Every structure is written in C-alpha cells, then in structure tokens.
Structure 1
C-alpha cells in the first residue's frame, strides 16, 4: 500500500551476520521485552516461503507442453480472461486467450488464437531468475461469442486502426458462431490488434518453477510435482501496453500435466479452444471482511527488480491496519535487504464502480519503521540528507528505526502521512481458505494517491493465516528461521546471503 521509488547505485557484498535474537516464550516476557510472538500459522507460511529446497527454477526454462490458467484472471482495464498456451519443441507456439464480461469468467465475449515462434535468449540482467526471449507473431485470429461482442470490437477496430483495417467488419454484419476473423497476418503485413490493446510482450520474459505440493490425504506420503510458468507483466496503463517490456510477472500459469490439485478450472480450460471457450464453475461473490492476519502465498515479484513477501494485520473494530513488507534481492526470497513496517487507518469499503466484484477503500499511512538487513541498504540510508530519513548516520543492519518523526524517508520515497486509493476483493480457494487480493501497483512506480489512479487489477493473493486480533503485533523478523535450543527458547539465526548486485539507477517500487 505504500509508495516508493528506490534509487540504488551501490555495488556491495553482504556476508552472513553473527547476531542472534532470542524470542520470548511467555506472555509476560513478551510484554516486558516489547515483542509479541507470531501467530503459528502466519509464521509457518512465511517460513514455508523461504524453504528453497522445495522450489527449483529451470535455467534455461523448458517450455514444451501445455500451460493453463488455474482460474479467472484480471488484467488492468479491467479485462477478465483465461489463457491456454501450447509450446512445441520446434519453438512454435499456439496460444488461446479467452475474454469475458464478468469477473467469474462465465460470460465469454471473444477468443483470440495466437500463433508464432519463440526464441529463448540469455538470462535477464534486470530480473534475477528470469530468461529473456524474442518472439514473432505469424497470425492472430478472433472468434466472437455474441452479436454484441462482434459489434463492439468491430467498431473499435474500424475507428482506431490504420487504413489497412478500415472496414474490418461491415456495419450490421450478422454474428456467425464459430467464424474466425483474421486480425494479424505476417504474410500480408496486416495488423488490426492495436484497438484491443493486444500485445504478446509477456513472452519476452520467462521463468519456470517446479515445486512440490504435499498430498492431500494424511495417510499418503510424498508430494506432487507442480510446474508454474511465469510470463511478463502487463502495464497498468493502457496506452503503455503496446511497447512496454516487462520486468515483473503476471499471475503464473501451470502445467496441464503437473498442476495443483484439486483445480476445478484446469480441466475446463485444458479442453477448450476458440470455438468452445471455457465457462468456469459458479462462485459466490464474497463481501470483503478484512479483520485478521494475511500473508503472502509466494515470493512476489514487482516490476523494476523487486522481490518481497507481505504480512498484514487488519483490526476491524477501529479500522486500523499494520503492514510488514519484507524485501529481498533474489527470486526465492532468501536474501533479505530491508523491511518496512507501516500502520494507519482505512475507510469503509464500497462496491467498485469500475471492477465488478471489487471493493474500493482508502488507506491512510501515518506511521512507518525501517529495518535495513544488508550493508548496501545501510550505506544508502546513512548517506541520506539529515532530517530526511530517520536519524542521519545511525543506521545499522538488523536495527529498526522509526521514520515517522522525519515524515517518512526521502531515500525510499516514503512520505508521511499518505493516502492511497485501493481496490480489494476476497475469495475462497478450493480448500475453503480465505484469499485477499489487493490492487496492483502502478507499473511506473507511482502511487495511487488520487481516486482516478485507483487500481483496476490485483496483485498475487494473500492467504488468511489467523482470525481477528484485538492487539497490535510487534515486529519479529521472519527473515530468520527459528531453531530450537536445549533451553526451549528459540534462537533465530541469519540466513546466508550471496553477493548482491543492484542495478544502478533502477527504480524499485514496493507494496
């Protein structure tokens, strides 16, 4: 929820530290030391995210096979869609994109059939863990699923496309179910896709992860392999989509052969094509109930080289909130760089006028604290101008500072107090766990500090790890994995951290 543009032009190496933190075990000790233990489930989720032995990334990635969406996706606009991509061993691909009028992907509007060729290149020098790629489109076709969709799209193409697309479809043309109309052809050099805001730049940044999902039945031993395909993010500004080159990811697709179970949408999407668009199972539209604690489900990636996990606490009784943003230098969230704690209040939510199923809220940030975790961040903060970010020259690794008295931190782009206009929604997954979706951050690194900049799409979901709590939590860094000692107290030891190379003059945003 907090805005930041982080300018790092430093190059440094960070070695493992020697400090140890003793976590109190009794409630009395917690109050006396000013620390409060984490809810067990929340701590479990954050530790689970750091278990890199359960996740492997293939470099170069192996794309051959069939990859599918696992649910209804939301892109900026908003656009509601599902995807089904097939990659062949000869580098050719065939991609289906199914678009809908509703956020449950039950009312198909039109489908795109995209054919082309993809060539993997080198490892990305901007986004760690990703591979850059070049692609060439051969054909793009469209199939309309209603007369209304046909009229709307034809009008947009006729009005906004170049001279070669005038008269794409004559006015009053009757809808022909199943008819395929050509939008792009490499042979004829015709391209009428601009009116749809269509581009496949997502294929220019690729990452494949393999991880292991525990089997559902307690009596079953072992785990099930899950493969995920991360493709480049879509710019939040419509006008920038056609030429934006991704540095982050959108919601991952999963292998049709190795996906999370159960997945009601997977089989439906797998069996679909442009003539039979997937219609996903009906889902209840849930009201947003924020009270409780929510934590990231994965190591998250933001545009401009940022990896993080998030942990939020919402107090419904007085509409106050707390947020912890744990930043890392690697795509597995194992190498901590700095942590930001923020708190404030939020307004009562109202249904979104732009994004069906979403809820509009405004969040006010009034307090913030920063904990640098490596020497790069320490040096950057200590070089900030006096009075612009905490106590000048006093920053040390692992030690938290309150930046509220300096009205934020200029070096991190944090301004206090600050108001942001947000978009929220809640869902339940197939295991009846509560998920919280928070609005996607602007790709350009700005803040949604005006109502007209309110998001129209979402970040990766948070999962509810604990119910409502009446007290504020105190910070205990989850970047340090606990180890039981003989005296039954937990000793937290710092994780090993490799050399950290920050790209000079790269702007980093955080939420």
Structure 2
C-alpha cells in the first residue's frame, strides 16, 4: 500500500509537467509543417531538419548508389512505369541482353498515358559492343550496335492504317494493304535481305540509337516495412530527340527513364517478364498508382541526382497559394551530385493549369521567372563570373565563393546564358503512390534548347519526377530567403515556433529539476 500511495503522489506532482509536454506536442502538431524536427546544439544553436532537407542530404551524400563499370548487361531489363516519349508516344520496354553480345528487345506502344491499351509492338534483334567511357557525359559508357531484324505487330485499326502509310513511303508497294493486318508479324528491317525492301523503318522514324550511351547503377536502401536492406540494378540508356524529324540522326547526350533488372521479388518486373509481342503488358492495371489533378501547392524535390547535357542537378521547387513559386537548382559536375558547381535561386509566377489537348493526362502551365540569385560553389565558376567582360552578370569582380548575389538588376547572367525575365511553357502531371506519396512530373527540356521558351517548344514528355516533401530545407543558406518582401514569412514562422517550443521544453525541465 505504501508503494501505491507513493506512486499516486509522484503522478500528482508530475502532472503539471506532463500537461505541459502534451500541450507542447499539440501546438507542434498544429503549427509546425509536417516532417519538421527541432533540436538544439550544446551552444544553444537551433537546428531544423525536414523531409525536403533530409532528401537533399541523402542525394548529395548518397553512398548507396554505386556505378557498375563497365555495365554488366547480361540479363533482362524492363520499364517500371508507363514511359512518355516526345510526340507524345506512350510505351514500355523489355530488353534482353544475351551472353554472346546479342540482344532481343521489345518496345510496346500504347494509345494512352497509362499504357493499358496496346497499339503496336516492335521486336528487335541485333548485337552490341561496348566502347570507351563517354567524353560528353561523365559516368556514361558509349557503345555501337548492329540491327539484325525488326518485326512489327499492330493491335489497333487506326494504327494499322497510319503505320502502313508511313512504311510505304520508304518501301512503296511492299506493304500494299492500306491497312496492316492486326496481330500479323511484319518484318520491317532485315539485315540479310539484299533487295531495297530490307530496310523500311525510315518512314516510321524507328531507331535504336539509345543503345549508343548507357550507365548501370547498383542501388541499396533499408526497407522499413521489411526491416532489411533491399538492392536492385538500374540501366540508363540514351535519350530520344524531342524533334521526331531529327531522331534517326541524333546521338544521345543524356538519358531516358532507367530500366530495372529483373528480380523475382519485383511485382512490376514479373508481369513485364511474362510479356511478348503476342501478349503485351498492361502497365497501369498492375500498379498501385493513381492520377490526380495537378495542384501546385507545397514543396517538391528531386528523387535522384538528375542528368543534364553538361551538368547534373537537384531541384527543389516551392509553390504558393497565390500563383507564385520559388525554386532552388543545385548544379554538380559528377553523376552522384557530390561536387557542386553553382546553385540558382529563382522566384516568379505561373498561370492556372489547362488540360493538354495533345498529351493525355498532362496539364499545361506558363511559368514566368522574374528574380534570380546565383551562388558560385567552386573557384572555377567564381573566376568565370568575375572575369566575364561585361557587367551583365552582377558587377565584374564582385563574386565570392559560396556567397549568393542577385542578378535581377542586370537582367540575368550572360556568363551562364541566362536572361531575365523569361517565360517557360510547361507540361505537368501528378500521381500518387501506394505509400501515399505524391509525384510531380515536369516537362522534358528541348534537345537543342535550354528551355521551352515558346509555345512551339512546349514539352510533350516528362523529366524524372519530383517527390512531394514538407518543412524548411536546412541547406538553403541563401540570404534571399529572408522576408524582404512578404514572401518569406512561412520559413520565419516555422523558425520562431521551433525556437518557442524548444524554450518551453527547456523551461519545463528547469522548473521540474
């Protein structure tokens, strides 16, 4: 009984502290952005972490991604989502590389952006020879290939008529029916055929130049649900030109969406593995994904270190409720995003979204960039900016390492090929995952342009998706995030609340002890 009485007495004396703790947690739950973590160092300095900041740290110091060089191609590689190529073209890929350097590839094309209605399939046979490391793109390997045979099978009447017309442009009379027969195999390329009708693929702009550039990566991460580490291989192949008329002469300079190597514990791999030209896969019916209306609110960050034609980049974009936006672009000189070159911070406005009439599932926006700050992050970039002949990238000789400088007043930065203000004509799409995450797809950049600067250059395909995150990024060290014009209040409010909550907990503990 004495023990019970003492316990009751301890609970009554501790109740004010318990109540205060519950209050602190309640306030934090209501007012702090989801995913924000508050902490203090021994010196009392406030620290903040967030989902966005955690993802950026993960990408910048990611040791769980390892290059496999040279690529070990033997095996089966396949799409893990419905891919969208410029045009638009909706497709999935299933590529098999054999031990003798030969390959058997399937490209399944669809009528819809979910890849549920097969339209036609190319079955491709040939051989591949790896070459040296690419001089154009760090971390990439070049290759040469030879086609042996290309077989076409069509499943939809409208495509049967359109493809027959295109094939007859190259090989008049060879494909004499005005409409190709459905589920019939047509050999549209045959290396061993001597007559002119051995190569009829020019009219349909078919090419396998993506095999000229490649990179293999080995990924490892901890699966919280399984409480174990999981691993997989990804194969990046060369990009496809955004202008269809130049596709057959284009040599890749960047990558497409990566393919994943077949594993028995991979659900999407399993039904892709079982597919062929006689039974094309229906992607969306076998995936836990849902299309949602594009809502530009909140923060989104890269899901991987993204590749550009010269640099590699991590993007972090923040959308506000008043059709304004801001973004951070961190540029690197290596495919793992470990070695920074410079970062850009921009602010601007955007229009309301309009459903695309050209790209199924897409929404069109116009983005205007009005303000810009640049931060040089290595000495070469700093010297390049300081030595630029004219004062149209801030003042000459005014650049300092890791110090941001505004270039709005000089209408951009000619040294980096940027002029302000400018408008980009965007295409976006949004989907949710089975884990409850949100992915935002933004438009693929034009192959021969730095940005889609006109309506004619509006994208018809997508880049690597961004993932929705929350909180304030702790690595944003740019002074411009201060609330100088009323747009930086969210970060300041979060910081103040975090400080108050830490102070409340500290005071509570001091009183109790």
TM range (shorter): 0.7 to 0.9
Question: Once the 2 structures are TM-superposed, how far is the Cα of residue 225 of structure 1 from its aligned partner?
Answer: 1.1
Structure number with larger C-alpha Rg = 2
Higher deviation after alignment, 287-296 or 188-197: 188-197
Question: In structure 1, what is the equivalent of residue 166 of structure 2?
Answer: 156
Alpha-carbon distance between aligned partners in 2 of 1:473 and 1:413, rounded to the nearest angstrom: 29
> 1:230 aligned to 2:240?
no
The 5-angstrom pairing of residues 245-256 of structure 1 reads 245-256=251-262
Residue of structure 2 aligned with 1:281, choices 278, 284, 299: 284
2:53, 2:474 within 8 Å by CA — same for their partners in 1? no
In structure 2, relative to structure 1, the CA distance for the partners of 1:130 and 1:109 (3 Å cut) is: same
> 1:399 aligned to 2:403?
yes
Deviations 1:342-369 (A, max 9, x none): 1100000000111010000000000000
Question: In structure 1, what is the equivalent of residue 214 of structure 2?
Answer: 206
Question: In structure 2, what is the equivalent of residue 197 of structure 1?
Answer: 205
The 5-angstrom pairing of residues 249-264 of structure 1 reads 249-257=255-263, 264=267
* Matched residue SS, 2:248: coil
Question: Once the 2 structures are TM-superposed, how far is the Cα of residue 89 of structure 1 from its aligned partner?
Answer: 1.2
Question: Once the 2 structures are TM-superposed, how far is the Cα of residue 37 of structure 1 from its aligned partner?
Answer: 7.3
Higher deviation after alignment, 294-303 or 445-454: 445-454
Q: CA RMSD in A?
A: 2.4
Question: In structure 1, what is the equivalent of residue 113 of structure 2?
Answer: 103
Question: In structure 2, what is the equivalent of residue 349 of structure 1?
Answer: 353
Question: In structure 2, what is the equivalent of residue 299 of structure 1?
Answer: 305
Deviations 1:236-288 (A, max 9, x none): 11111111111110000000127xx7x65332211100110001234543100
Residue of structure 2 aligned with 1:312, choices 311, 317, 330: 317
2:86, 2:241 within 8 Å by CA — same for their partners in 1? yes
In structure 2, relative to structure 1, the CA distance for the partners of 1:82 and 1:166 (3 Å cut) is: same
Question: In structure 2, what is the equivalent of residue 269 of structure 1?
Answer: 272
Greater relative CO (CA pairs within 8 A, separation 6+):
1
Question: In structure 1, what is the equivalent of residue 187 of structure 2?
Answer: 182
1:264, 1:281 within 8 Å by CA — same for their partners in 2? no
Alpha-carbon distance between aligned partners in 1 of 2:335 and 2:475, rounded to the nearest angstrom: 27
Alpha-carbon distance between aligned partners in 1 of 2:47 and 2:405, rounded to the nearest angstrom: 20
> 1:140 aligned to 2:150?
yes
Question: In structure 1, what is the equivalent of residue 249 of structure 2?
Answer: 243
Question: Once the 2 structures are TM-superposed, how far is the Cα of residue 55 of structure 1 from its aligned partner?
Answer: 1.1
> 1:67 aligned to 2:67?
no
1:207, 1:231 within 8 Å by CA — same for their partners in 2? yes
Question: In structure 1, what is the equivalent of residue 477 of structure 2?
Answer: 476
Normalised to the residue count of structure 2, the TM-score between the two structures is: 0.81
In structure 2, relative to structure 1, the CA distance for the partners of 1:105 and 1:379 (3 Å cut) is: same
* Matched residue SS, 1:182: strand
Deviations 1:191-250 (A, max 9, x none): 1112222111110111000011322426x23x1111000000111111111111111100
Residue of structure 2 aligned with 1:92, choices 102, 121, 134: 102
Q: Which runs of 5+ in 1 are unaligned?
A: 1-23, 27-32, 478-488, 490-511
Normalised to the residue count of structure 1, the TM-score between the two structures is: 0.81
Higher helix share: 2
1:37, 1:476 within 8 Å by CA — same for their partners in 2? no
In structure 2, relative to structure 1, the CA distance for the partners of 1:47 and 1:406 (3 Å cut) is: same
Alpha-carbon distance between aligned partners in 2 of 1:474 and 1:407, rounded to the nearest angstrom: 27
* Matched residue SS, 2:291: coil
Residue of structure 1 aligned with 2:89, choices 64, 79, 90: 79
* Matched residue SS, 1:361: strand
Alpha-carbon distance between aligned partners in 2 of 1:83 and 1:249, rounded to the nearest angstrom: 14
Alpha-carbon distance between aligned partners in 2 of 1:92 and 1:360, rounded to the nearest angstrom: 42
Alpha-carbon distance between aligned partners in 2 of 1:138 and 1:125, rounded to the nearest angstrom: 28
Question: Once the 2 structures are TM-superposed, how far is the Cα of residue 156 of structure 1 from its aligned partner?
Answer: 1.6
Question: Once the 2 structures are TM-superposed, how far is the Cα of residue 341 of structure 1 from its aligned partner?
Answer: 0.6
In structure 2, relative to structure 1, the CA distance for the partners of 1:363 and 1:337 (3 Å cut) is: same
Residue of structure 1 aligned with 2:59, choices 37, 42, 49: 49
Question: Once the 2 structures are TM-superposed, how far is the Cα of residue 174 of structure 1 from its aligned partner?
Answer: 6.1
2:53, 2:475 within 8 Å by CA — same for their partners in 1? no
2:160, 2:182 within 8 Å by CA — same for their partners in 1? no
* Matched residue SS, 1:241: helix
Higher deviation after alignment, 380-389 or 346-355: 380-389
Higher deviation after alignment, 441-450 or 130-139: 441-450
Residue of structure 1 aligned with 2:223, choices 215, 231, 245: 215
Question: Once the 2 structures are TM-superposed, how far is the Cα of residue 432 of structure 1 from its aligned partner?
Answer: 2.4
Deviations 1:17-43 (A, max 9, x none): xxxxxxx978xxxxxx9xx97661001
In structure 2, relative to structure 1, the CA distance for the partners of 1:367 and 1:150 (3 Å cut) is: same
The 5-angstrom pairing of residues 379-418 of structure 1 reads 379-418=383-422
* Matched residue SS, 2:282: coil
In structure 2, relative to structure 1, the CA distance for the partners of 1:174 and 1:182 (3 Å cut) is: closer
Question: Once the 2 structures are TM-superposed, how far is the Cα of residue 434 of structure 1 from its aligned partner?
Answer: 0.2
In structure 2, relative to structure 1, the CA distance for the partners of 1:103 and 1:365 (3 Å cut) is: same
Question: In structure 1, what is the equivalent of residue 140 of structure 2?
Answer: 130
**Aligned pairs, how many?**
434
